[in-house]
Structure 1
Amino acid sequence: MRQPDRIIRFNTVRARTGLSRSTIYRKIAEGTFPAQLRISTNGAGWRESDINRWIANPAGWLPRGEIDFDDVL
């Protein structure tokens, strides 16, 4: 049985990735880091599975559902 995907907050993401606040937000803007999910009016977090995928392959990370056509050809 598959585990449910947890939502993790900013401090946990920073601790796991070793990235600074500004680097995380710059990479989100560039599309090279998972975007946050809005979880309440003033709160946001990340899917733990997205962060784990990024940690496993930071240079090759793509948002879910996107295909890198260089890998296909």
Structure 2
Amino acid sequence: MSDLQTTPTDNGMPSDPLAPMFYRMRDVLRMTALSRSSLYRRIAAGNFPPPVSLGGKAKGWRREELEQWAEDPSGFRFMQSCMIRKTRQGARVRQVRL
């Protein structure tokens, strides 16, 4: 038996220090049991942590933020405020305060 076994914590997230620092979409959907559209709706509402860029087109979710969400899914608030402004070129840009 190895000392490096992963044992799930109360929130279902692995407690292994060697667990990945970032999770991809497939893993997040499996861990949360949410559909892709529900996940993106929660991200837009600020009720789920947004993905971060991992380089190129790759996106992933930070393990710490997923663990924080798993502790209290209904009470999680990622964004404190959000303001939409327009650039000189006319593009809409969302500014988020964490």
2:63 counterpart residue number: 48
Please list every run of at least 4 consecutive aligned residues from structure 1 whose deviation after the TM superposition is greater than 3 angstroms. none
Identity of aligned residues (%): 32
Q: Which letter does structure 1 place at the counterpart of 2:77? A: L
Question: In structure 2, the residue corresponding to 1:15 is in which secondary structure?
Answer: helix
1:41-67: CA deviation from partner (whole Å, max 9, x where unpaired)? 110000011111111101111228x5x
The one-letter amino acid of 1:44's match is K
> Structure 1: which 5+ residue stretches go unaligned?
67-73
**Partner Cα separation in structure 2 for residue 14 and residue 52 of structure 1:** 14
Q: Secondary structure at the match of 1:62?
A: coil
Q: Provide the rounded CA distance (Å) in 1 between the counterparts of 2:52 and 2:43.
A: 12
Partner residue in 2 for 1:69: none
Structure 2: 5+ residue stretches without partners? 1-16, 81-98
What count of residue pairs does the alignment treat as equivalent?
Answer: 63
TM-score norm. by structure 1 comes to 0.76
Report the AA paired with residue 55 of structure 1.
A
Where is the helix percentage greater, Structure 1 or Structure 2? Answer: 1
Q: How does 1:1-73 map to 2 (within 5 A)?
A: 3=17, 6-63=21-78
Counterpart CA distance in 2 for 1:62 and 1:21 is 19
Question: Does 1 or 2 have the higher relative contact order (CA < 8 Å, sep 6+)?
Answer: 1
* Bigger proportion of residues as strand: 2
**In structure 1, what is the Cα distance between the partners aligned to 2:57 and 2:28?**
18
Structure number, greater radius of gyration: 2
User: What SS does the corresponding residue of 2:55 show, helix, strand or coil?
Assistant: coil
